[in-house]
Structure 1
Amino acid sequence: MYSNKVGLIDIGSNTIRMVIYGIDSHFEIHEITNLKVAARLSQYLINDDHEQIVMADQGIQKLTETLASFNYAARAHEIEELIVFATAAIRQSANQETIIQRVLDETGIEIRILSEKEEASLGQYAISHSLPNRNMVTIDLGGGSCEITLSENKEIKHYHSFPFGVVSLKEKFFAGKEHNDAVAIEKTRRYLQKAFKSLSWLKKIEYPIVAVGGSARNIAQVHQRLQRYPIAGLHGYRLSEINLETTLDLFQTTNYQDMQDIDGLSSDRTDIIIPANLALIELYQVVDAPTLYISRQGLREGIITYYLNDHFDQPIDPEHIHVRSVAKLCRDFKVHPKVAEVRSKIAIDLYKQLTDLSQLNYSYAQQVELEMASYLYKCGQFISQEADSQTTFYLLSNMDLAGFSHRDRVRLALLSSYRNKSLLYQYCQPFVDWFSENDMKELQSLGGILKFSQALNDSKTSPIKKVKLEKKKKDYLLTLYHHGPVVAEQYRAERHSKHIARSLNGSLKLKYVDLDA
């Protein structure tokens, strides 16, 4: 199944995690296993007799025990390569050479310590290959460090690594205090604000923020549960400053013993979630950001994506991530490529002719959206022919699709599952604030094009070779040029022509021209 299996061990300040990836023949990355230990290595950083920061022996022992366990699992999975890297906790340790040598002696594992620049660049590499945003500020909030980058056109322009993270902030301001101590919170706010404002290129840049890291994801997860978010997935989830204030207020007003009862909050982050929430809010204000996105793609994903592009001639292009996502879905859902190609050709042809006749407003983005939906149209039938529309909508709206915002993902699901107006509005009930009435009319018109295009290849023999839509006084004529019999197509087309007629300011007649006659 996999042409290659690669293991990554990420030695962070808060957690140590091993992910084993399988790479298939299409250069798609599949997560095989994901193991995590909340080691909190940064709490083992102490000052030695020379006032240098070193990792205490207990921390090194915790590290070697964890890596030995992970190494056993990696061998069991028969991986081809194991990449082991460390960030702030070991990078900040004056005894890092001792740590590396001891790990090598006791486990046989060689650790690579990433520089601040490498850490920022690899995190940005993952984001640029998974989100559509071109200009952004990213924050990777770890346990012992905080990487900030400014990117324009998906290229890093500035970066900075602060020597603080959620664990070190907790130890600096909340040691011996309640998790929601008001004085500690205010001191943390001022400290973070001063740190972020020290970066002149960050102030009032007004770019969206993309947040990476377990704590940021956890905050988003809590917010999703609070508002009963109607779809699954954290990647690309948006948070406003008010949303972040809402989660902060929840954490502040909840007794520590009750924190574990907060739906969505991980039990190993209850004592560090407030510093994380404060960091996002303060960055939001310094940047004057329009919104904040959550990315599930971070340092590990950046490393495996870079590994893939470096070893296999650049198969992942950041300019075409959404196309790659759709192509993968077509393979996973066993979409017939020739049938999808015919449907897509007809749909795009009809769309362009409708826009030429000023019945729809043309945009290239909309054409691309229609093309992707035409390939995925009723793709849920591989699970259920009877419930193909419902299954298609559920699958597409609840999958993390690289290159799509959550709203665009739902639009794709609505178009790909389109059957009729009533079902469209039924699917949209949980998304009343997402789409205007004009959006709904647009979706209905585009969905109608897809449904009619599907009807024109009902026999799956590709008989329709050309479609021509013309204005005839007050009415419209759609001529369908075909080879061979079109009995099935004619039956379906007559039934579903109303879906095209709705987009016209007049009635529609169909005409069939046999090219073999």
Structure 2
Amino acid sequence: MVYGIIDLGSNTIRLSIFKYEDGKIRLLQNKKAIAGLAACVEGGGLTEIGISKACFVLNRYKDILKAQNIENYSVFATASLRNINNREIVLNEIKERTGIVPEVLFGDEEARLDFIGVKNSCELSRGVLIDIGGGSTELVLFENGEIKRLTSIPIGALNLQNKSVKGIIATDRELKKMKKIINNALDELQWNFESNYETMYAIGGSSRAALEISKELFKIPAEERSFNRANVKEILNRLKSADVKDYKAVYKINPERIFSLSGGLVILNEVIKRFGCEVINISKDGIREGYFIDRIIDQMSDKEENNEK
């Protein structure tokens, strides 16, 4: 079976095409478009510009699927549509312009699907899972390979930076402002934080960017999929450096994330500190794999079992 999954996110809109055969999932194709929908929110609602951006990308992805004769696909939206106050209007517009009705995932469900996706490719024992998106951050605490706690915070890399940073490059004062915002959100969870979760598993563009930058700056081998808390701290130190060369060197590595990188790294660093994480592993699988497993494969298996009965 070949199946398409479109992830309508707050910063990026992605298309993943999977093949499921002999009990295994294989990624055939992955497309990404940076739409920056979180920056197209005014008065709590998604603007016409944001709607048009979303519809343009969705129609382009429909054309790709059609060209490959892939009739079966699903579309889901996360904080991009979950956190807006004109959701029904936007959904109607998307349906009218594209013929698509995205499934809007609630925050806890997004976190659960994140966990399912990461567990597909990583052996999870005890640790923290983080998914830093453009408009929200999902957190999962797990022990013995099972979820202990999960949540979604309506603060992501793009909307945090967009609200806190006046210019293109965040100042030291603006970085401190973002730090305060995310820590207040963590305090509001009222979790009894344990600061000995040594291992973190991370998904999302901000975390992948942190790995890419760490490889370049700290000579981490190309095949590695992990970095450490000291790397994140040093990157942030360079971003707030008075020496232009320091922060230019960082943005040069990943220029496409200039409007969300500092926000994402602040979120990552504060969560690392809060839980005492030392090692950050980047998972190759995430919410799209989790959605495919939970919504398509598992439901298909349930139907087959019911038919047999």
TM-score norm. by structure 2 comes to 0.89
Pairing partner for 1:145 from 136, 142, 162: 136
Aligned-partner Cα distance in 2 for 1:137–1:240? 14
Q: Which amino acid aligns with 1:36?
A: K
Q: Structure 2 matches for 1:432-447, cutoff 5 A?
A: none
Q: Structure 2 matches for 1:75-86, cutoff 5 A?
A: 75-86=66-77
2:121–2:284: 8 Å Cα contact kept in structure 1? Answer: no
Aligned to 1:292, the other structure's residue is in SS state strand
**Deviation for aligned residue 1:255:** 3.6
Q: Which amino acid aligns with 1:274?
A: S
Aligned-partner Cα distance in 2 for 1:108–1:255? 48
Q: Which runs of 5+ in 2 are unaligned?
A: 303-309
Partner of 1:273: 261
Partner of 2:175: 185
- Structure with larger Rg: 1
Partner of 1:115: 106
Q: Structure 2 matches for 1:104-503, cutoff 5 A?
A: 104-174=95-165, 176-177=166-167, 179-201=169-191, 203-207=193-197, 208-234=199-225, 237=226, 239-253=227-241, 255=244, 259=248, 262=250, 265-306=253-294, 307-312=296-301
Partner of 1:16: 13
2:128–2:200: 8 Å Cα contact kept in structure 1? Answer: yes
Q: Which runs of 5+ in 1 are unaligned?
A: 48-52, 314-517
The 3 A distance-change label for structure 1 pair 202 and 43 is farther
The 3 A distance-change label for structure 1 pair 256 and 161 is farther
Aligned-partner Cα distance in 2 for 1:202–1:269? 33
Aligned-partner Cα distance in 1 for 2:96–2:103? 15
Partner of 2:30: 34
The 3 A distance-change label for structure 1 pair 290 and 36 is closer
Q: Which amino acid aligns with 2:104?
A: I
Aligned to 2:150, the other structure's residue is in SS state strand
Partner of 1:46: 42
Aligned-partner Cα distance in 1 for 2:224–2:299? 29
Aligned-partner Cα distance in 1 for 2:259–2:23? 40
Percent pairwise identity: 27
Aligned to 1:129, the other structure's residue is in SS state helix
**Of Structure 1 and Structure 2, which has the larger fraction of its residues in strand?**
2
**Deviation for aligned residue 1:41:** 0.7
2:18–2:28: 8 Å Cα contact kept in structure 1? Answer: yes
Q: Which amino acid aligns with 1:192?
A: I
Aligned-partner Cα distance in 1 for 2:245–2:192? 34
The 3 A distance-change label for structure 1 pair 262 and 242 is closer
1:10-65 residue CA offsets vs partner (Å, 9 max, x unmatched): 000001111111223x2322222211111011111111xxxxx2111111111111
Aligned-partner Cα distance in 1 for 2:97–2:168? 39
Aligned-partner Cα distance in 2 for 1:171–1:13? 12
Equivalent residues, number:
300
TM-score norm. by structure 1 comes to 0.55
Aligned to 1:285, the other structure's residue is in SS state helix
1:293-329 residue CA offsets vs partner (Å, 9 max, x unmatched): 222321112112333344247xxxxxxxxxxxxxxxx
Aligned-partner Cα distance in 1 for 2:174–2:262? 10
Aligned-partner Cα distance in 2 for 1:256–1:6? 45
